[in-house]
Amino acid sequence: MKVGKVPENVLKRSVFKEIHTRRPEVLLGAGVGEDCAAVKLAPDETLVMSTDPITGTAKDIGTLAILITVNDLASSGATPVGVLLTVLLPESVEEPELRKMMAQVEAACAQADVQIMGGHTEVTPVVNQPVISVCGVGKVKDGRLISTAGARPGMDILVTKWIGIEGTAILAKEKEGELLAKFSAPFVEKAKALDVYISVQSEAAVAVRSGVSAMHDVTEGGIFGALWEMAEASGVGLEIDMKKIPIRQETVEVCEFFGLNPYQLISSGCMLMAASDGNTLVRELAKAGIPAAIIGKATEGNDRVLLNEEERRFLEPPKTDELYKAI
């Protein structure tokens, strides 16, 4: 396609025709020439917004773009309502590829009950692969907003599911040929299929009902980065037992193959939480079929300590995600 705004006929044919999910709160949505979206909220509800681009992979980019933004909204306790998309395409992309991306986006939106409210679609020579940046809009009742900064000394620190599942799935798809040189096809397929766990909407809903105090979706920088960010936002220290951090064998094997640290690997689908009664929260999550584990405590002061049997070391500020070493 030619550089510049995607032509109106292509926009109508391959973008707008893929948008079907609707929300009653959205008064003004996607349309030719529309620069804004409008959302009607009740007097006792708060508007919550989030934005994120997908740049680390082009595989399943439409699906990931929606899931990551919906996860961010869910981690605040909000119900996702809609998204605005900025889609930047290289000149090499043809219209069928755009249509496929939009079909992925709409399928993920339908699954999450989220409306595409508008956005911008452009072909530009400044990108060498498709980039989708998403602005998410959600709503939360007054008094139910959850932040990353809600951890307090003495609270239990929990994680849901497993660390590294998003990074493992991306690596298995992007580097499938390399992995098949060492691992069996069923192993690689199992690693690719870990992306079915990337949504955290279910655990966020359970956690909000169960009195969670802080939540943070574990994304770039992995669990180490997320732990640092929660501690920094909350002004607390940490004491974390690394042996209790749940990790899939597929992640261990894939990270060993590429020489990556799984604790610093992008981990959407794993939610970091702080709660006064972590055991009760773990039980409530288990009732919903969501595995979770208490991995440590929030502490007084600023020491953020990682324990590994007899070894004791300090957590460092987030580093570049390990995914970029392999992709």
| 252 has pLDDT over 70 | yes
User: CATH assignment of 148-326?
Assistant: 3.90.650.10
Percent of the residues in the chain that have a pLDDT greater than 90, as a whole number: 81
Domain map of the chain by residue range? Answer: 4-141, 148-326
Inter-CA distances, 265 with 72, 241, 243, 274, 324, Å: 18, 18, 17, 21, 9
Please report the pLDDT score of residue 33 as a whole number: 67
Q: Which residue has the higher pLDDT, 179 or 59?
A: 179
Please report the pLDDT score of residue 34 as a whole number: 66
Please report the pLDDT score of residue 43 as a whole number: 87
| 36 has pLDDT over 90 | no
With cut-offs at 50, 70 and 90, classify the pLDDT of residue 295: very high
Average pLDDT over residues 133-143: 92
Please report the pLDDT score of residue 265 as a whole number: 97
107: amino acid identity, one letter: A
Inter-CA distances, 126 with 56, 88, 248, 296, Å: 16, 9, 37, 44
Determine the Cα–Cα distance for residues 219 and 235; give it in Å rounded to an integer: 20
Distant-in-sequence, close-in-space partners of 319: CB < 8 Å, separation ≥ 6? 221, 224, 225, 264
Please report the pLDDT score of residue 165 as a whole number: 97
Determine the Cα–Cα distance for residues 219 and 224; give it in Å rounded to an integer: 10
Mean pLDDT of the chain: 93
Determine the Cα–Cα distance for residues 25 and 38; give it in Å rounded to an integer: 8
| 288 has pLDDT over 90 | yes
Determine the Cα–Cα distance for residues 243 and 233; give it in Å rounded to an integer: 25
Please report the pLDDT score of residue 28 as a whole number: 76
| 4 has pLDDT over 80 | no
Determine the Cα–Cα distance for residues 267 and 254; give it in Å rounded to an integer: 14
What tens digit of pLDDT does each residue of 222-234 get?
Answer: 999 999 999 999 9
Check whether domain 4-141 has CATH 1.10.3080.10, yes or no: no
What tens digit of pLDDT does each residue of 177-192 get?
Answer: 999 999 999 999 999 9
The DSSP 8-state label assigned to residue 206 in this structure reads: H
∠295-196-207 over CA atoms, to 5°? 45
Q: Is 312 helix (H, G, I), strand (E, B) or coil?
A: strand
